[in-house]
Amino acid sequence: MHNININGEIDFEYDMEFSLLDSIESQQLDIDYNCRAGFCCSCKCELVNGEVDLIQTPNPVIPLKEGEILTCCSRPKSDLELRFKDKLQHMHW
């Protein structure tokens, strides 16, 4: 199991979800997404530390910058430190 750190504030264990996007959603964190297929770039973040495996091939409408990943296309290969542009809030129902 790998530890995921988000914006230096939130930590949780990746627990066999299909993608990083799924694992972040499983924590009831309000992450942006749209296509879930590597096109729209809504789910992108900066990979500050660690390594990911690709589970589907990204085909982003906006080219990714060095160090950026799409969470819908990625799965952790090690502990990860991720940085999102906006703070991820916990969803309250």
What token pair was written down for 46? 């900066």
Q: Is 4 in the site for ligand FES (CB under 6 A)?
A: no
**Strand 80-83 to strand 74-76: parallel, antiparallel, or no bridges (unpaired)?**
unpaired
Q: Is 36 in the site for ligand FES (CB under 6 A)?
A: yes
Closest CA to 43 of 55, 1, 77, 13: 55
Q: Give me the least distance between CB of 45 and ligand FES, in Å please.
A: 10
Our CB check for ligand FES shows the closer of 29 and 35 to be: 35
Interacting stretch for ligand FES, rule CB under 6 A, among 5-13, 39-47, 48-56, 80-88?
A: 39-47
